[in-house]
Structure 1
Amino acid sequence: MHRVFLIDDHPLFRSGLRELLERRQGLEICGEADNCAAALDGVRRETPDLVVVDLRLQGTDGLELVARVHAADPKLPILVLSMQDEALYAERALHAGARGYVMKSEDPRDVVDAVEVVLGGRVYLSPEMTRRLVERASSGAEHGRSAIDRLTDRELQVLRLIGEGRSTSDIAADLALSVKTIETYRAHLKEKLGLRGSSELMRFAVLWVQELPPDSPLA
């Protein structure tokens, strides 16, 4: 059973979301909060498997809350579910530590799919947002994509796992390597792909994984 903690300052929406998710076998709501302080305390107390958070909370910057939850437990998956424009906030949410972003206006089935994708250790973006990011990245990331051919097999493996939202420690465990070795691979990836930092590496990796054909051996 996966335990989910909800953070939203609209009681009616939380009630509807609770009902939606608890209808799905294997999901239960372990706690709720409507502000930053209650959210941080509740997440610490309940130790959920997933946090679902709205970016627009009264008196609170939702992105800051995402960053604080992520800092407290980097392995805890966070899914942003918000009315805030996905085109403006999805990347910012990922940079803050979220593993996915879905609009409240999406079909309820998409919301449940997003929850399951993020619980599965992957990154969730709507098809429309993925298309926008790929189009926007296409003009500025040609060098990076062409540099893919120069990556070693192990570097490609690490890049794929980063794109799936895996942490450095998780990648190290999966590949039976040390955390320091994975950090070295991350540094090599940034250098070879011409990326300036961890946020750019994460974004590039997510986009690259999204573009892999289903029959690719790396998918």
Structure 2
Amino acid sequence: MAGRKPGDEKGPAKIVIVDDHPIVREGLAELINTKPDLAVCGEADNAADALSVIEKTRPDVAIVDLALKDSDGLDLIKDVRVRFPKVSILVLSMRDETFYAERVLRAGAQGYITKEEATANVIEGIRKVLSGGVYMSQNMAAKMLGRLLPGRRDTGSTPVERLTDRELQVLELVGTGLTTTEAAGRLHLSVKTIESYRERIKEKLGLDSASDLLKFAIKWVHRKQGMI
């Protein structure tokens, strides 16, 4: 992807913020708009509105929350990459884990930043992806590099890493309490397809029953939300 310099002859680089927390959007917009070479041109709190805003405003960068309410951040990243290949994507996440960083980069994002470090590093991250580079914090980069070294493994390693992105989505929907029918509706898939995913998840995670799957899924979602 060809990068552009912030504030070049096109004027300030345009940024869209996608986050379901108004206070987060407000804080990021206020910070970004203090920079003369950057300007927030739109906001959204879900995937459908995000795609609409991006189509209308044609931003240079989309800042995307990985855990959108009623939406999946990974799916949004993939959709933006296909529909708007010139838009760079910087992901915000609650989790400081290589597990998520690797998945968003594979999905097509150019950067990964935790919400904890967003205030300090988001401007640097935006400018990095605008220039055509890939951004992540030094801490995250060190973790990812550590995974590549012989005999080393991320301390956050989990059996869930064996799951595909879609299987992970199904697991998380199960953990939030959705029934098979409700999960099928959320993902626009058939009930039979969701049941097939559930069986694959149980096999990959070594779970024997639907009850075991539910318990594991609830624990995983709580862990993701920082509750345990």
Q: 1:78 aligns with which of 79, 89, 103?
A: 89
Q: TM-score, normalised by structure 2?
A: 0.59
Q: Runs of 4+ in structure 1 displaced over 3 angstroms? A: none
Contact 2:66 2:93 (C-alpha < 8 Å) held by counterparts: yes
Mapped pair 1:28 → 2:39: yes
Counterpart in the other structure of 1:13: 24
Amino acid at match of 1:30: C
Shift, 1:139, TM fit: 1.9
Counterpart in the other structure of 2:56: 45
Q: Secondary structure at the match of 1:102?
A: strand
Contact 1:9 1:58 (C-alpha < 8 Å) held by counterparts: yes
Counterpart in the other structure of 1:101: 112
Q: Secondary structure at the match of 1:29?
A: strand
Shift, 1:109, TM fit: 2.7
Shift, 1:24, TM fit: 1.4
Mapped pair 1:118 → 2:145: no
**Counterpart-to-counterpart distance in 2, 1:134 and 1:86:** 12
Q: Counterparts in 2 of 1:199-218, with a 5 A limit?
A: none
Mapped pair 1:136 → 2:151: no
Q: TM-score, normalised by structure 1?
A: 0.62
**Counterpart-to-counterpart distance in 2, 1:107 and 1:40:** 23
Shift, 1:107, TM fit: 5.6
**Counterpart-to-counterpart distance in 1, 2:33 and 2:64:** 17
CA RMSD of aligned residues (A): 1.6
Higher helix share: 1
C-alpha change, 1:63 and 1:107, in structure 2 (3 Å) is closer
Mapped pair 1:55 → 2:69: no
Counterpart in the other structure of 1:150: none
Shift, 1:85, TM fit: 3.6
Amino acid at match of 1:128: N
Larger-gyration structure (1/2): 2
Q: Secondary structure at the match of 1:128?
A: helix
Note the residue ranges of structure 2 that are not aligned, 5 or more in a row. 1-11, 152-228
**Counterpart-to-counterpart distance in 1, 2:101 and 2:140:** 8
